[in-house]
């Protein structure tokens, strides 16, 4: 009886081990076969976001590959390396799209893509990640409201420094109904991105394609 019991225990252990090995192999195989698909899907999402800010007819380079890695910057709201995407037409600079962060949203950090033409005017802004309140602060999303398009064509001189505030603070930009902190944070982040570009314009397009760190 004891021997039979031991055999049963050994068989059960062997089956469990085999099950674990097969399960692990299947998971690894699934990850391997879907990795390229996931990467391509992420690339397509990125391209849609970039093209929403800068129409494809405005440039002829591979904007998702012509990138510049930027060191952490208080003006960009970043605490680690971020990426700038550079658009060119016939080799000439057209625009750069920055990965910026508004650190002081109502519910935390608001991640942005801020597109700036080479002349320092705003090509467009999009929110790509946030945790703002549904029905209030989430109106910063283009699919919920056109509010985010108020930055199109703006620059450091249009409006002036006093105008780069929400109207409740004496500035030019509308706040959202029932939400002021969220748009206030984004207005500041966009202006800070413009300031960053003003201070670093010479180096943004200095190097060609690649993952150059500045």
Determine the pLDDT at residue 14.
66
Determine the pLDDT at residue 114.
97
Contacts of 67 (CB under 8 A, 6+ apart): 83, 84, 85, 86, 209, 210, 211
Determine the pLDDT at residue 17.
67
Cα(59)–Cα(67) distance, integer angstroms: 14
- pLDDT tens-place string over residues 175-202: 988 889 999 999 999 999 999 999 999 9
Nearest Cα neighbor of 186 from 133, 147, 144 is 147
pLDDT grade for 137, boundaries at 50, 70 and 90? confident
For 79, list phi and psi in degrees, rounded to 5.
Answer: -115, 5
How do beta strands 67-70 and 212-213 pair? parallel
- pLDDT tens-place string over residues 41-95: 656 777 788 888 998 899 999 998 999 999 999 999 999 999 999 999 999 999 9
Greatest Cα-to-Cα distance within the chain, rounded to the nearest angstrom: 91
Residue 3 has pLDDT above 60, yes or no: no
Cα(8)–Cα(2) distance, integer angstroms: 10
pLDDT average, residue stretch 193-212 = 79
Cα(176)–Cα(139) distance, integer angstroms: 7
């Amino acid at each position: 009886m004891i021997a039979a019991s031991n055999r049963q225990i050994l068989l059960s252990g062997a089956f469990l081990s085999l099950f674990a090995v097969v399960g692990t192999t299947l998971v690894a195989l699934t990850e391997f076969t879907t990795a390229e698909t996931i990467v391509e899907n992420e690339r397509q999402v990125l391209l849609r976001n970039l093209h929403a800010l800068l129409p494809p007819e405005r440039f002829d380079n591979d904007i998702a590959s012509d990138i510049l890695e930027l060191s952490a910057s208080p003006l960009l709201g970043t605490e680690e390396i971020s990426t700038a995407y550079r658009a060119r037409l016939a080799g000439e600079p057209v625009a750069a799209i920055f990965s910026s962060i508004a650190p002081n949203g109502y519910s935390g950090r608001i991640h942005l893509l801020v597109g700036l033409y080479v002349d320092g005017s705003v090509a467009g802004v999009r929110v790509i990640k946030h945790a703002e309140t549904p029905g209030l602060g989430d109106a910063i999303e283009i699919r919920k409201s056109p509010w985010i398009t108020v930055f199109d064509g703006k620059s450091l001189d249009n409006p002036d420094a006093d105008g780069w505030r929400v109207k409740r603070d004496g500035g030019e930009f509308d706040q959202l109904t029932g939400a002021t902190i969220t748009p206030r944070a984004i207005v500041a982040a966009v202006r800070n991105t413009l300031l960053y570009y003003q201070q670093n314009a010479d180096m943004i397009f200095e190097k060609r394609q690649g993952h150059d760190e500045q």
